[in-house]
Amino acid sequence: MAVVRRQLAENPEIGELGIGIEIHSDTVCLTGTVNGPQRRATIETVVRAIVEPRVVVNDIEVVQLCEPVEQVTG
């Protein structure tokens, strides 16, 4: 699991420290939030390459970051 965490932190396309990783016999579960579907997919691909032949369950949520709305006062 340390190898997976290090890859997620050091990979320039990912740079994620807040991804939860749980291993249950032959399954690896990923949890947490990221700011885009591409990052979610990249994390899954990287983890899958490390933990094969285990099954990867990707429960990472995608959160869209919005720009602050300008408040208009009258």
Pull the structure tokens for residue 72.
């208009």
Q: What is the pLDDT of residue 74?
A: 62
pLDDT at 23: 93
Q: Give residue-wise pLDDT tens across range 27-74.
A: 999 999 999 999 999 999 999 999 999 999 999 999 977 766 676 776
- What pLDDT sits at residue 17? 86
The per-residue pLDDT for 67 is 66
Q: Kindly report the pTM of this predicted structure.
A: 0.81
Q: What is the pLDDT of residue 68?
A: 66
Torsion of CA 55, 29, 26, 43, to 10 degrees: 50
Q: All domains of the chain, ordered by start, with CATH? A: 2-62 (3.30.70)
